[in-house]
Amino acid sequence: MRASLIIPFLLGALTLGGSAFAADKDGEGKNTHVQKPKAKTEKSQKTKRPKKAKKKEEKKEEEKPAASSAPPSIASSLGPLGNLWGARTALEKAGVTSSFIYIGEVLGNSTGGMRQGTIYEGALQGILDADLDKLVGWHGASFHASAYQIHGHGLSRFYVGNLMSVSGIEALPSTRLYELWLEQKLGDKVALRVGQLGADTEFVISQYATLFLNTTFGFPSIMANDLPSGGPTYPLATPGVRLKLTPSDNVTILAGLFDGNPAGPGPNDPQRRNHTGLAFRTSDPPFVIGEVQYAYNQDKDAKGLPGTFKFGGWHHFGRFADQRFDIIGLPLADPRSSGRPNQLLGDSGVYVLIDQMLYRKEGTTDQGIGVFARASASPNDRNLVSFYIDGGLTWKGMIPGRENDTFGISFAYSRISDAARGFDRDVEFFTSIGRPIRSSEAVVEVTYQAEIVPGWTIQPDFQYVFRPGGNITNPRDPAAGRIKDAAVFGLRTTIRY
């Protein structure tokens, strides 16, 4: 099964769907700037509605959760410059919005890791969104594009050597396209998105976990380590299709089909193989993922505190190397082995997560204590990581007078698969040389995000990494044994404009 056979078909379906909605049978999409003649009739019909029905509709509207407000922007503190002297407002009226997010951070490991050091890294993200209904009269359609300018050197890559990278923005320096897509809404309950997509923007995401710096609290490390080229996640998006169904206010169903290797096969680093984000690969075996979300206590008059439960699974149709045995069944560490791993067809995984508010300050919607937990599992024989779990707590408004500050503490655990452990034992057996046996990697993170002005935060952070790399030998100093546990201190600043 090839992604190239499916994605063009769905691109055509999106175009046809957009055309149909742009010119509906009543002619509403032909000229959105002309007042509709039937407005008077609609008004008359509205006045004839039974009072009970009207009250019922009003009550239903009140029960709906308030629309989430846009993230705070530093533009509110910049006077006329914040609105570019009216230009941004004019564009917004036309349906076009743009934003920039800059994240810069200093990180250093004072102890442990492959060696000690300090780095600075940063990522500037540009985002462009367009409501195509307002802009060109394409009813129900929207456009999105995002790109990164990434600079600096990652602490995990050059100093710590861990699987769960210390920072979610760590990547090789580059200027690259990330997402580029069109979305067509088919009524109120269906939305189809086609283009270059990142799975990490919608799937396996916890609203509370996004506070933390470590990359695993975004797209979990089990998927990032097991999927080819790390999967469709920062900084590598890939062509794909996403279908979103919302059968009710409480239930959301997501399904995604992606090209299965955003950088394509090759011996060097995936980020170098697709160094601009313009590879647009569609010929690799596909990666599919689905997720069901159930949100409860979302209404403002709900008796309980809000929460969300998500369950999902994924499958990759490619071939994956056996972690322990070769093509004839011999251990890869056996001197008689060909050294060619057995190729196993397909890979898969399941996951579950929950976000739950435990305490909410009276009179607020988001201030208080929230917790999250996620767990995921994949087959042992073809994956480096076979089990993953994380969890944490956040407290927004913990300090009186600092309502927009957030404190957080979290942990994550990645278990090395039985097959990978078995390979290490085989190497020790056949060479008679003692060496560390990979087991797991874990991290604990404590952080505090403080708002300077709306749209600008600073965030001191501490992480302690247990068994970096899963308990591997230090590649920079094999005689020293395994990579030592690392203590990491950092400071991040985030500016949104």
pLDDT of residue 70: 75
3-state secondary structure of 4: helix
Q: How far apart are CA 379 and CA 431, in angstroms?
A: 28
pLDDT of residue 435: 87
Interval 391-396 mean pLDDT: 98
Residue 203 · residue 224 · CB < 8 Å: no
Q: Answer with the residue of higher pLDDT: 357 or 18.
A: 357
Q: Does residue 119 have a pLDDT over 70?
A: yes
CA neighbor of 383 nearest in space, from 429, 430, 314, 446: 314
Tokens of 364: 């607020």
Which one-letter amino acid corresponds to residue 463?
Answer: Q
In 153-250, at which residue ranges do the beta strands (DSSP E only) sit? 174-185, 190-197, 238-245
CA neighbor of 287 nearest in space, from 341, 220, 351, 239: 239
CA neighbor of 230 nearest in space, from 203, 207, 264, 257: 264
Whole-number Cα distances in Å, 365 to 27, 133, 361, 426: 41, 31, 8, 55
For residue 405, the tally of other CB atoms under 10 A from its CB is 17
Interval 486-491 mean pLDDT: 98
DSSP 8-state class, residue 388: E
Q: Does residue 254 have a pLDDT over 80?
A: yes
Place of tokens 């690969």: 281
Rounded to two decimals, the pTM is 0.84
Q: CB-based burial of residue 230 (10 Å sphere; 0-12 exposed, 13-18 middle, 19+ buried)?
A: buried
Name the band, by pLDDT with cuts 50, 70 and 90, for residue 69.
low
Q: Does residue 14 have a pLDDT over 90?
A: no
Q: Answer with the residue of higher pLDDT: 141 or 33.
A: 141
Which one-letter amino acid corresponds to residue 460?
Answer: P
Q: Does residue 374 have a pLDDT over 60?
A: yes
Q: How far apart are CA 98 and CA 92, in angstroms?
A: 9
Q: Answer with the residue of higher pLDDT: 232 or 268.
A: 232
- The strand pairing partners of 416, in sequence order, are 385
φ, ψ dihedrals at 485, nearest 5°: -55, 145
The set of residues, in sequence order, having a beta carbon less than 8 Å from that of 205 and lying 6+ positions away, is 218
The set of residues, in sequence order, having a beta carbon less than 8 Å from that of 253 and lying 6+ positions away, is 244, 245, 246, 247, 290, 291, 292, 293
User: What confidence tens digit (pLDDT) does each residue in 156-176 have?
Assistant: 999 999 999 999 999 999 999
Share of the chain above pLDDT 90, in %: 79
pLDDT of residue 416: 98
Q: How far apart are CA 378 and CA 226, in angstroms?
A: 9
Q: Answer with the residue of higher pLDDT: 126 or 71.
A: 126
Range of lowest pLDDT (5-9, 245-249, 347-351, 382-386): 5-9
Q: Does residue 116 have a pLDDT over 60?
A: yes
pLDDT of residue 193: 98
Which one-letter amino acid corresponds to residue 461?
Answer: D
φ, ψ dihedrals at 9, nearest 5°: -60, -45
DSSP 8-state class, residue 233: B
Name the band, by pLDDT with cuts 50, 70 and 90, for residue 17.
very low
pLDDT of residue 99: 95
Q: Does residue 10 have a pLDDT over 90?
A: no
Whole-number Cα distances in Å, 213 to 300, 359, 436, 459, 489: 31, 24, 29, 9, 11
Q: Does residue 418 have a pLDDT over 70?
A: yes
Q: CB-based burial of residue 35 (10 Å sphere; 0-12 exposed, 13-18 middle, 19+ buried)?
A: exposed
User: What confidence tens digit (pLDDT) does each residue in 457-481 have?
Assistant: 999 999 999 999 999 999 999 988 9
Range of lowest pLDDT (48-62, 290-304, 367-381): 48-62
pLDDT of residue 62: 41
Strands 174-185 and 251-258: unpaired
DSSP 8-state class, residue 476: T
CA torsion sign for 434, 332, 377, 446 is positive
pLDDT of residue 434: 86
Q: How far apart are CA 251 and CA 292, in angstroms?
A: 7
CA neighbor of 481 nearest in space, from 440, 442, 436, 437: 436
Strands 174-185 and 190-197: antiparallel
HSE on the CB side for 90, CA within 13 Å?
4
Average pLDDT for the chain: 88
CA neighbor of 163 nearest in space, from 443, 482, 475, 462: 443
The set of residues, in sequence order, having a beta carbon less than 8 Å from that of 78 and lying 6+ positions away, is none
CA neighbor of 443 nearest in space, from 280, 284, 221: 221
Tokens of 442: 């874990």
Q: How far apart are CA 331 and CA 118, in angstroms?
A: 40
Q: Does residue 36 have a pLDDT over 80?
A: no
Name the band, by pLDDT with cuts 50, 70 and 90, for residue 82.
confident
Place of tokens 């060619």: 340
Residue 307 · residue 357 · CB < 8 Å: yes
Residue 479 · residue 445 · CB < 8 Å: no
Place of tokens 């509906």: 24
Whole-number Cα distances in Å, 237 to 104, 185, 258, 380: 22, 22, 9, 26
User: What confidence tens digit (pLDDT) does each residue in 187-226 have?
Assistant: 999 999 999 999 999 999 999 999 999 999 999 999 999 9
Tokens of 28: 């509403």
Q: How far apart are CA 350 and CA 407, in angstroms?
A: 30
